[in-house]
Amino acid sequence: MKKAIIFDSSTLINFSMNGLLNVLEKLKVIFRGKFLITEDVKYEVIKRPLKIKKYQLGALRIKNLLEKGILELPEKNSTIEKRTEELLRIANRTFIARNRYIHLIDKGEASCIALSELLTKGKVKNIIATDERTTRMLCEKPENLRKLLETKLHTKIKIKNENLDIFLKFRFIRSCELVYLAYKNNLIDLKNHNVLDALLYAVKYKGCSVSKEEIETIKKL
C-alpha cells in the first residue's frame, strides 16, 4: 500500500445522506490507493444505523461499498486498538475547565488518528477525511479550539501544551474538498453551471464543517 485516505464516520455519513456514494467509488478509481475505515467507524456507519429504520438504507449503501472493496478495513491489528486508547486518553486530558479535563473526542475519531500514525510509520502516505471539526481543530489549531471552548463555556480554559505535539502531525480533508476534486475531474454526472455550488452546500448542510466564506473561496479556485 502506497497511500490511503482514512474515512471518519462523519464524511461517509455525509456522502451517504447526499446520495453521493457513487462519487466516492469514482474517486477511488482515480485515487489508486486505499480508502480505509476502522472498526470503530464501521460500527457508527454500518452496524448501529442498520438497527434504525431511518438510517438503515444509508448504512446498507455503505456496507455495500465495504463488500465491494471500495472501503477496506485495515488488517486486524492490536496496535491500532492500543494506540486508539492511548490517544483518546491524551486528547481527553489536554483541555482543562474549572479544574476538570474536558472529554473532547471519542473512539471512532481517535481510531482514525491512530491508524494515520501507524500508516505514516509504515511510510504510507495518508490523510484523514473528516467533516466534524473538533478533531481537526485539536490537531491543526488547538489554540482556536481553546478559544472556542472559552467563548462557548464562558470560563477560562487551560491547555496542557506538552500533550499537543502528538496531534500536530496529522492532516485532514473534508467532504467539500472531495466533491470539489470529483467536480474538477469530471466525475459528476450532472452538468450545470451550478453543480459545484450545489454539491458544496449539500455537504455543508449534512454536517461538513465548512463555512460559507470557504465555499465561496473554493468556487473561485
* Interacting positions 72-111 with other proteins (CB under 8 A): 97-98, 100, 102-109
CA angle, residues 121, 135, 17, in degrees to nearest 5: 105
Find out whether 77 and 111 touch, Cβ atoms under 8 Å. no
Q: Work out how close the CB of 119 gets to other proteins at its nearest, in angstroms, rounded to a whole number.
A: 12
Among 25, 50, 55, 183, contact with other proteins (rule: CB under 8 A): 55
Q: Work out how close the CB of 211 gets to other proteins at its nearest, in angstroms, rounded to a whole number.
A: 5
Residues in binding contact with other proteins, number by CB under 8 A:
73
Among 30, 57, 168, 198, contact with other proteins (rule: CB under 8 A): 30
Q: Which residue has the cell 474538477?
A: 184
Q: Is 127 in the site for other proteins (CB under 8 A)?
A: yes
DSSP H or E stretch at residue 36: strand 34-36
Q: Which residue has the cell 473538533?
A: 134
Among 82, 89, 125, 158, contact with other proteins (rule: CB under 8 A): 125
Mention every residue, 6+ apart, whose C-beta is less than 8 A from residue 114.
38, 80, 83, 84, 86, 87
Binders of other proteins among 141-170, rule CB under 8 A?
Answer: 141, 144-145, 147-149, 151-155
Q: Is 120 in the site for other proteins (CB under 8 A)?
A: no
Task: Tell me the backbone φ, ψ of residue 204, rounded to 5 degrees.
Answer: -60, -45
Among 37, 180, 199, 200, contact with other proteins (rule: CB under 8 A): 180
CA distance 125 to 63: 25
Nearer to other proteins, 25 or 207 (CB): 207
